[in-house]
Amino acid sequence: MENKIDVAIIVGSASDLPVINESVKILKEFEISYSVNIASAHRTCEHLKQCVKVAESAGAKVFIAGAGMSAALAGVIAAETDLPVIGVPMENKNLASMDALFSTVQMPKGVPVAAVSIGKAGAVNAAVLAARIMALSDDNLKDKLTVYKSSQAQSVIKEDIRLQQEGIEKYLEGLKSGKNI
């Protein structure tokens, strides 16, 4: 872990890293410092507590927790810190990922966890939400978020223009071949 971080990412297992890397990409795009740790809420309780303490000492402002199956990770982190915690339920075949989603959103009163969508979209949204939280006191970051949002809008408009020019059949053929993504 670096000496100074803004966002601490903790995943429940190494298998969660490919999905949570989507959070890392967004944090890099916004030039937000981060750390990534693996700590299981069930198998490495003391290690998890230590990861939270180290992240707080390093200046973390927000936690992102990615976990599948019973997904207690975000709740345990929220119990250990007063900082915002964003839970990313991981995709899995067990119970169609609903166990991870419900474990992330069904927190007892007084132990809040912000929950985003399941999987890669959730990992992206967690990083954007972390940036939005931090932008409350960082005008430079707020400006970057405005540019990001505008870029997303322009991407959709660009696809619509292509659809209008090509027609639906040709556009869909492009999707199948990977041309339109």
Q: pTM for the complete prediction?
A: 0.89
Residues 31 and 58 in one domain: yes
Q: How far apart are CA 119 and CA 108, in angstroms?
A: 23
* Number of domains forming the structure of the chain: 2
Asked if residue 2 belongs to a domain, the reply is no
Q: What pLDDT is recorded for position 136?
A: 97
- Residue 1 within any structural domain of the chain: no
pLDDT of 2 strictly over 60: no
- Which of 122, 137, 152 is the C-terminal boundary of a domain? 137
Angle (CA) 123-94-42 rounded to 5° is 70
The predicted-structure confidence for 103-132, as pLDDT tens digits, reads as follows 888 899 999 999 999 999 999 999 999 999
Per-residue pLDDT reduced to its tens digit, 16-63: 999 999 999 999 999 999 999 999 999 999 999 999 999 999 999 999
Structural domain boundaries, residue 169: 140-177
Indicate whether 149 and 89 sit together in one domain.
no
Q: Do 72 and 125 fall within a single domain?
A: yes
Q: Are residues 36 and 95 in the same domain?
A: yes
Length of the chain: 181
